[in-house]
Amino acid sequence: MSDDDKQRPGSRPSTRLVHTGRGHLGGDTSPVNPPITRTSTVLYRNTSVRTTIAARKAAGERVWNYGTAGSAVSFALEDAITEIEGGARTMLFGSGLAAVAHPLLAILKPGDHVLFAETIYQPARTLATDYLTPRGIDCEFYTGGHAEVATRIRPQTRMVYLDNPGSIVFDIQDMPALAAVCKGRGRDILITVDNTWGAPGLYRPLTLGADISIVAVTKYIAGHSDLLMGSVTANTRCADLLYRAAGILGQVVSPDDAYTALRGLRTANARLKMQAANARTVIDWLQAEPEVERILYPALETDPGYALWKRDFHGANSLFSLAFKPSVTAADANRFVDALRMFGIGASWGGYESLALTYPPERLKGWHGGALVRLHVGLEDPADVIADLELGFRALRS
């Protein structure tokens, strides 16, 4: 939301999260939430209506002509995410990973060159190395930020792709500076950002110069570890191209999942605020433990990404990594996690529950330190979270 919008009643971000995508259902009475409509076939009143709808569809308009087009509730979710991200158009996918894949599959052609940040989500890296590369797309990985990108851009460069912050190590890149580097070139270079950490509303990369923002709706938007979904929001430079490609490829989500995700979105701000506060309490405690080298979390004043986070983000979530001192081995880190009773051991995050996961440090891109544990702090009482982590430290010391 722009500063102007902020002045208008009802337009503050947390208020919009409650009211966006509610639409107008018409009639004298209506439900609070858009209805779930389960259908494959959509029936037309007559053939002339069908002709008109087909023409609108061909012109790129979002119309309800068949189940694969979505439905009222998925349209509502798309509109809500479009508003939160500040884009022109949003498409929904059956998982965050399918959303990650979409801009790469829809835009890139053989001979194109792509610059991927070193700290992207690991399955996105596998997509680059095991799927795009064998199909003639030149995938190059860069360390650092925009200054490094500037030295590596070529005439064939079509896209820069990054997670901001980076996956697991949470390094932050300067989006306006990156946009300045890319926009100054003859050829259109699109900036694609995986904005899962910053969603909903903590980070709005499209307002800072990015062209495409990907969100794993699975995480804080759904918020309850009970569904998989991804979104791609784009600005006017590429929204229509991405929308048409999603239609060509038959990408659609179920109305039940769209409903559940939209329901999660309504309370996302409350959960995020509480989980971020719980995470901060836990981090303050962790930092005093002798085995802890540092906490990787851009909202921490001592983090290398803090200044950019402070400038460009509107808040933080409850996902961070704990880096141990060199005396703690990767096997010790596994013992630490195995000693936890309340934390679940599992991938994904953004649900209401606390999770822990270790990563082999030598296989972790962009990380040159020792053993590391990624923690997601849930809605439990932070005193219980800390008591559980104490069990981990006790295991290290025994």
Ligand X SMILES: *Cc1c(COP(=O)(O)O)cnc(C)c1O
> Which two three-digit tokens encode residue 293?
């080298």
What the block records as the tokens of 351 is 């649900």
Q: How far is the CB of 27 from ligand X (least distance, A)?
A: 36
Return the residues of window 204-233 that contact ligand X according to CB under 6 A: 216, 218-219, 228, 230
Q: Which residue has the tokens 């991200």?
A: 85
- The angle at the Cα of 59, spanning 55 to 64, to the nearest 5 degrees, equals 65
| CB nearer to ligand X: pick between 102 and 266 | 102
Among 119, 196, 260, 358, binds ligand X (CB under 6 A): 196
CB of 196 to ligand X, least distance (A): 4
Residue nearest to ligand X (CB): 96
* Shortest Å, Cβ 301 to ligand X: 24
Taking the complex as a whole, the smallest distance from the CB of residue 120 to ligand X amounts, in Å, to 8
CB of 163 to ligand X, least distance (A): 5
Tell me whether the omega of the peptide bond preceding residue 165 falls within 30 degrees of 0, making it cis.
yes
Distances (CA, A) of 390 to 331, 379, 380: 18, 18, 15
Does residue 121 interact with ligand X by CB under 6 A?
yes
Q: Taking the complex as a whole, how short is the minimal distance between the CB of residue 221 and ligand X, in angstroms? A: 11
Number of residues in the chain: 398
121 or 336: CB nearest ligand X:
121
Kindly tell me which of 100 and 232 has the beta carbon lying closer to ligand X. Answer: 100
Measure Cα distances from 230 to 44, 95, 320 in Å. 30, 5, 21
Interface residues for ligand X in 301-340 (CB under 6 A)? none
Give the DSSP H or E segment for 382: helix 382-397
The DSSP result for 168-233, as a single string, is: TT-----HHHHHHHHHTSSS--EEEEE-STTTTTT--GGGGT-SEEEEETTTTTT-SS----EEEE
Least CB distance from residue 336 to ligand X, whole Å?
22
Give the residue with the Cβ less far from ligand X, 111 or 346.
346
Region 341-370 residues binding ligand X, contact defined as CB under 6 A: 348
* Contact code string over 81-100 relative to ligand X, x by CB under 6 A: --------------xxx--x
Order of strands across the sheet that contains 230-234: 89-93, 230-234, 212-216, 190-194, 157-163, 113-117, 138-142
CB of 174 to ligand X, least distance (A): 19
HEC per residue, 262-321: HHHHHHHHHHHHHHHHHHHHHHHHHCCCCCEEEEECCCCCCCCCHHHHHHHCCCCCCEEE
Residue 85 or 291 with smaller CB distance to ligand X: 85
Told to check if 73 binds ligand X by CB under 6 A, we report: no
| Residues 139-158 interacting with ligand X (rule: CB under 6 A) | none
- Compute how many residues bind ligand X; rule: CB under 6 A: 15
Cβ proximity to ligand X: between 267 and 348 the closer is 348
Q: Which residues in the 241-300 window bind ligand X by CB under 6 A?
A: none
Nearest approach in angstroms of CB 215 to ligand X is: 8
Q: Look up residue 219 and give its two tokens.
A: 């995480």
Q: Applying CB under 6 A, which of residues 118, 171, 174, 194 lies at the interface with ligand X? A: 194
Tell me, what amino acid is at 99? A
Q: Which residues bind ligand X (CB under 6 A)?
A: 95-97, 100, 121, 163, 167, 194, 196, 216, 218-219, 228, 230, 348
